[in-house]
Structure 1
Amino acid sequence: MATKLLWLSLLILNLLLHTSSTVGSETAATDFIKSSCKETRYQVACVKTLSGYGSKIGKSEQALTSAALSASVSKIVSCVSSLKEMEKAKELKARELKAVRDCIENMNYSVDSLNRSVKELDLLGNPKGKDSRLHVSNVQSWVSAAITDQDTCIGSITDASFKSSIKHKLLDASHVTTNALALVNRLASNYHTQTP
């Protein structure tokens, strides 16, 4: 009986220690996300978007940046789905239909650029030499291109009533991508200051 009690006590102690360390690491990740998001334009959206990735991010700048890019892709894909639903609407005027199709095309370009960025970010190795700076520079360029494509999409929809039905979603995606670029730039500063 004493052996069972000892075993049970050790099991409970182990669970308590594991729970405590998990809570501690989650708190550290949350603090890291909040601190990092202070450097973005849309801080509340940044924290809200990245909080779900806390366990993957930990305190890694690269994981944080990768999560921000992945979140951006997810938001844009959702926008494209909404735009495709709008494209099917029979009440659209010819110019509205063209705007939606142009917007879908631009948002797809944006997704492509961001997916390339995520893959390029994965190429970063431990040494912060010339190749790493090139990879980070490519990521910066592609995320900037993604933002341009999103801005083109938002600007192409000019009809006020039509724009209001999708504008919020498009702006939300744009804000998340703008935040991702800020985090990419933050990561890049670590690589550009290193000597090869």
Structure 2
Amino acid sequence: MAKVSHLCLLFSFLYFTGTAQSAATSSAGAAVNFIKVSCSATSYPSLCVQSLSSHAAEIKKSPRQMAQTALSVSLARAQSANTFVSKMAKFKGLKAREYAAIKDCLDQMGDSVDRLSRSFQELKHIGQAKGQDFLWHMSNVQTWVSAALTDENTCVDGFAGRAFDGKVKASIKARVVNVAQVTSNALALTNRYASKH
């Protein structure tokens, strides 16, 4: 009889564990689907999905959390690119024009990091703001993210022309273009959240 009750207990445990896992899998699937649908409204949807899918558990189906996470990803990449550009400025054998372009880019990326950081904090503390108060906070976020995107594009534009061919230009440009793309996506997702509120 003891064996039968242990067997029943084991089956019950397995059933509830399976049900819980199934619910968790279903919830994660719904979150990933939400990310895919939201990302379809951005300029770089596959990059959007790739950069946000690992955060599905925290995003769930929240447009606000989606925008917040997108800003966080953009900020982290901007900080990383800023560090990289800073290292490139110390590269030996740079031509005067290359060094000047890198220094300008460093200034732009520093501004971008600052603006993305302010945007992230503003959205994080928006709380239960409603009406005009919500619109004011969202306007700040949108303005700063848009300015950060301009900074990133200005950095890339600074390397235009034949005088800048080479590995230094290519490596900086690749990093900063990626940051600009995730920032563009973050701006689109922020605008999407603002329009749904």
Q: Indicate the residue corresponding to 2:104 in structure 1.
A: 102
Say which SS state the counterpart of residue 16 (structure 1) adopts.
Answer: helix
| Amino-acid identity (%) | 41
Q: Distance in 2 between matches of 1:124 and 1:13?
A: 42
Structure 1 position 184 matched with structure 2 position 187: no
Q: Which runs of 4+ in 1 moved over 3 A?
A: none
Q: Which residue of 2 aligns with 1:134?
A: 136
Deviations 1:148-194 (A, max 9, x none): 11111111223122422221211111000001111111111123xxx
Which structure 2 residue ranges, 5 or more long, are not aligned? none
Match of 1:71 among 73, 82, 86: 73
Distance 1:27 1:93 in 2: 51
Secondary structure in 2 aligned to 1:53? helix
Query: Shift of residue 3 of structure 1?
Result: 3.5
- 5+ residue gaps in structure 1? 192-196
- 1:7 and 1:163 map into 2 onto residues whose CA distance is 65
TM-score by length of 2: 0.91
Amino acid at match of 2:55: Y
Counterpart of 1:160 (choices 159, 165, 173) is 165
| CA–CA separation in structure 1 for the residues paired with 2:157 and 2:180 | 12
- Structure 1 residue 43 corresponds to structure 2 residue 45: yes
1:15 and 2:17 are equivalent in the alignment: yes
Contact 1:123–1:135 (Cα < 8 Å) also in 2: no
- In 1, the alpha carbon distance for the partners of 2:5 and 2:109 equals 64
Q: Secondary structure at the match of 2:61?
A: coil
Moved more, 155-164 or 105-114: 155-164
Q: Who is 2:177 aligned against?
A: 171
- Counterpart of 2:85 (choices 74, 83, 86) is 83
Partner of 1:114: 116
Whole-angstrom CA distance in 1 between matches of 2:116 and 2:24: 31
Q: CA RMSD in A?
A: 1.4
| 1:19 Cα deviation after fit | 0.8
